[in-house]
Each structure stands twice: as C-alpha cells, then as structure tokens.
Chains A and B, each alone.
Chain A
Amino acid sequence: MPGILIYSDNITLTKQLITAGLLLKEKMNQPVYVILTGEQDLTGIANTAADEVFVLKGSNPWPESYADAIANFASTEQISAGLFGGTPRGKDIAAKVAAKLGAGLVTEAQSVEFDDGCLLTTRLLYGGLAVATEEVKLPALATIAPKTFEEAGSSDKQTEVITIEAANELNQITIGETCPVVREGVELSAANRIVSVGRGVGKKEDLSMIGELAQAFDAEIGCTRGIAEDYHWLPVERYIGISGQKVKPDMYFGVGVSGQVQHLAGMRESKVIVAIDMNENAPIFEAADYGIVGDLYEVVPLLIEALKS
C-alpha cells in the first residue's frame, strides 16, 4: 500500500525522520513505514506513532548491502515518499535506491512538504550561497541531515514488528576492518565558543598565539578547510564548512578567515560572529556582527592582553 518510508543506519536519526514522516502523513494521508536492517536496535521505535515497522534481515551486516532490499520493498509497497538519514551510508543507500526506482532524490533537504501531488523541498546550493525550493515527482526521496527534526516521542500504541528476509549477499565486495576515528579534543559542534583559524595565519607556529586567544575566551579551536586539508595544520575533524563540521556556538571568532561561502555555511547560525581580517572587503565582515580590520599579528596580542586584564 502506498506509504511514507523511513530509513537510517543511525537509529537516533530514524526517530528524527519519523517526526518528519508523521508531518508528511498529515497532508498525504498515507501510513508511515519504518525500515530497520539487520540487528538495528528496535528500542523506542515500535512505540512511536509510526504505522508499521519492518526489519529487513539478511546474511550480511553491511548496511549498504540492503539497498536492493529497500528498493524492492519500496516498489512492492509502491511507496510515495522515502526519507533517508543523511549520514554517509544513508546518502549512498538513498541514491542507490533512487536509481533502482528511477526516482528523484533531494540531498540534505531542510524542509519537506506535500503540495499539489509533489514533494516540495528546500536545500542549499552553491556551498550555501543560495536556497533552492524544488518540486519532486512521486515517488520522491530525500535525505535529511541529523538534528533537522526532533526525535519522535513515544505513543501508547505498540506497533507490530514484521521481519522480512532479505537477500543481501555481496559477491565482489568484502568488508575489512573498521576503526573508530580518534578525535582530538572535544566535539566541535558541542562547543559554546569557537575561535576559527583561516589562511590569514601565516605559519603553523602561529597557532600557539591563536591557542592563547582561544584560552582567553574559553573557546575551542576550529579552522577552514584549507587549514585542515591543504596545510594539515589541524585535524580534518576541526574544519568548519558545508562539507565539514556544522557549528552554532554562542560565539564564532574568525581569525584570518576570509569567509568563503562554503565555510560560512558551516557557521552562520552562530549566535554572535566576530572576525579579524586584513582585507576590509573580505566576505567574512558581511557575515559578522563585530569585526576588526587589521593585521592579526598586531590585533590578536592586543586582544589577548585586553581579555586577560
């Protein structure tokens, strides 16, 4: 029966997608089907307001190996909308399912509505410079980033969980070792204050000065993509931007950050944005609440001194 499909390899995200699915249900009048794969933890899923819960069980534990089974489910049930968790695995699975269904897919939709027989979605373009409103023909799929929706609460009902056998053997692929990524320092997205380093900082040794500034603010250190990926001065986990960390601290303080749009897209929801840069016309100042135009090597030591006294 036509319905709204929910899937994520991350169960917290599944609960957030259920909220989005239930909002769509109000207008579409179709049931919300939640799909879990393999050994995913059912806790807290069956007592949400979702209409049906299906567990696809196959012999292979790799989440991506379920793309075919999810696509088969979607075409058998003739689903009209599919919401997928916007994790790296989820985006891959969603695109494979979309290709198999011959369906449209909106990546990292920020809003999803049903309107005039189509899904109406919004998303960012050009590294965050613009917002596109798009119309997707049914069946329509979308991936949704973590924390876009609140987790669905529990309801009184206890939904029956239906297990479906899935053929998900892989012939040409074997999955080797997985290693947790060792993060240095705290989770940047949880930091209240962030001092961010850009290419205006001339050499790696100068990071100690920035460290002192961060300390004076009780802030974490973040950076632009160039500092992490081109210069390798700071770990990749510390770069802020549309393809890196998305942060919204109480204060973002950019030092030598010019403000390329891809970077801005990762920090522009910060409460207060401050910037120091040489170039008066740098785009960072348009995105900032407060700024100082000047040589950071002159300004930062003065600032540290002022903050200490």
Chain B
Amino acid sequence: MPRILVCYKWVLDEQDIKIVSLGLSLDVSRAKYKISDYDKNAIEEAVRIVEKNGGSVEAISFGTSLKQSFKDVLSRGVDKVYAIDSSIAENADAYVTANVLAAAIRKIGPYDLILCADGSSDVYNQQIGSRLSALLGLPGITSVSQINCEGDRISATRKLGDCTEVVHIKGQAVISVLPEINSVRIPTMKQVLAAAKKPSEEIKIDALGLSDAELLPKVTKVSVKGFVMNRKNIVFKDANQKDNVSKLVASLAKEGLLKERG
C-alpha cells in the first residue's frame, strides 16, 4: 500500500492580479491565495491511487500564510499536511524550493511515491519534480498523463509532444503529472467538515540543516512588468446584431481576411 506525498504551492490567483497602467507594475492587493491549479490534479491523482490501492496521502508545501491552505488541501482527501512556512519562500527560486522540500522529505519520509504538478500556475518553472528526484536520488518522471500502481511497481505514461512513452519503475519515484491526468472532484460537505479534524504539522526551516548558501536563490528578479497588449479594440455593440456583423465583415475585408473566392 503506497505512502504518497504530494507537493503543492500556495499561490496568488492570477485572475485577480491587475496591471497598473502607469509603469506597468502589478497590483496584487486584490488577489487571494489558492492552491496552484495543476497541484489540484496532483492531489486528486494521489487520492485516486489510494482509493484503488489503499495507502495514505500526505501533502507538503513551502510558502507563506500556509495555514490558510490547510482546509482546502485536507478536504480534497489528503490525510495530513506539512507546512514549511517561511519568508524565505517569498524570494525562493526552484533551487531553494527543491533544497527545502528535499530536506523536509528526508526528515518525514521515505515515501513510495512523491507527486508534483508539471508546473505551478504563477511562475510555471516546471522544475520541482525533476530537481527533487535528482536531490533524493530517485527516478524522476515528468509530463505524466496516466499512472498505474501495482505493488511496488509503477507504470507512468508520458506525453512528449509528438509521442507517448510508457515508463516502468520499480520502487520509489518522483512523478510530475499533467493537468489532463484527471478531472478534479469538488470536495463534498462531509469532506470539508472532516478536514477540520485532520492533522497538520509545521516544520521549521531552521530544523532542516540547510546552509545559508542552500537557502540563497541563484535566480533573482530584477523587474516584473505587465505584458502590454497594443490592439485596436474596436468593439461593435449595437443592439442590432445585423449592423454589427456587417461592420465587422467590412473591417475584416479591409484587413484582407475574408476567404478568397476561387
């Protein structure tokens, strides 16, 4: 029965980030935190594996304000959540994050299977699964669209652009899953209520035995600016849709976009 750990990231909801037109800086004051979208698929996959094979699902995150995330994570079928809550996470790059998670996993592990999403919805670095596997000395398989577990054997189907590839693993592994691996279920009221009684544990970053160098990012942000879209923004909104359509067709004709008649 597999013991599974899912890594998740607690991120700002990009839908609520606004670009300030002056200087193109980002206004995050109205943005709330959420579980990174694709991490929900990783959690869902872990829960589905356990529903089929037995075992347990734990989750871990490195970030800030992580307490707020516990209820959502635990109501999705996770048995226990670990949090490394530290301001170091604010400027952490994938190098630092992987160092922290690997050190924590050495402490609370071993796990038969460590699941990550293929990337986070904020920075989409797509590195954590691969880096963790290298740091922990475990097989690391990315871009996975299907997982089958049987005993201590795992088969993972990867989607690699122009082909799919099946990888068979014996023993422990770190697997990064694509969002298409499953459809995330919405927690039931019963699950939400049960979440409050489930355990959570804080791991202090100082207790991980990492050196200052291992916590110092290699990649630092010089600037972050909103992406500028320069478009004509001609929007037809008459009540009479026939008028709108003929105006649009006229505009598209001018752009040379109508189908040529042969």
Contact = CB atoms under 8 A, between A and B. Distances in A.
Q: A and B: real partners?
A: yes
**Which of A104, A105, A126, A217 has the most CB atoms of chain B within a 10 A radius of its CB?**
A126
Contacts of B134: 67, 95-96, 99-100
Contacts of B173: 172
Contacts of A180: 162-163
Interface residues of B, number: 83
Contacts, number: 253
Contact of A126 (B122, B131, B166, B245): B122
A294 B237 contact: yes
Interface stretch (A21-29, A133-141, A202-210): A133-141
Given A172-B170, A285-B233, A291-B234, A95 B245 contact: no
Interface stretch (B1-9, B62-70, B103-111, B250-258): B250-258
A262 B129 CA distance: 22
B244 A299 contact: yes
B186 interface: no
A292 B123 CA distance: 33
A295 to B, nearest CB: 8
Interface string B214-232: 0001111111111101011
Contacts of B143: 88, 92
A264 B217 CA distance: 30
Interface in A117-138: 120, 124-137
Given A67-B134, A96-B130, A133-B223, A293 B235 contact: yes
Contact of B164 (A98, A178, A286, A306): A178
B33 to A, nearest CB: 14
Contact of A292 (B171, B223, B237): B237
Contacts of A176: 155, 165-168
B179 interface: yes
A130 B229 CA distance: 11
Interface string A87-124: 11101111110111011111100000000000010001
Contacts of B26: 126, 129-130
B235 A306 contact: no
A230 B220 CA distance: 36
A89 B241 contact: no
Contacts of B165: 175-178
Contact of B233 (A229, A288, A307): A288
A304 B166 CA distance: 45
**Which of A91, A92, A105 has the most CB atoms of chain B within a 10 A radius of its CB?**
A92
A129 B161 contact: no
Interface string B24-45: 0010000000000000000000
A91 B241 contact: no
B234 A131 contact: no
Interface string B81-125: 000000000000111001000000000000000000011011111
B166 A260 contact: no
Nearest to A261: B14
B75 interface: no
Contact of A273 (B19, B226, B231): B231
Interface string B127-152: 10111111100011111000000000
Given A179-B164, A299-B241, 14 more contacts: A87-B161, A98-B95, A98-B127, A120-B222, A126-B14, A129-B227, A131-B225, A173-B168, A176-B167, A178-B163, A243-B179, A289-B231, A293-B235, A294-B237
6 contacts: A87-B160, A104-B95, A126-B123, A181-B163, A265-B227, A288-B235
Interface of B: 12, 14-15, 17, 19, 26, 93-95, 98, 118-119, 121-127, 129-135, 139-143, 155, 158-171, 173, 179-180, 183, 217-227, 229, 231-237, 241-242, 244-246, 248-249, 251-252, 255, 257-260
In the A-B complex, the 5 residue pairs with the closest CB atoms? A104-B218, A95-B130, A176-B166, A99-B134, A99-B131
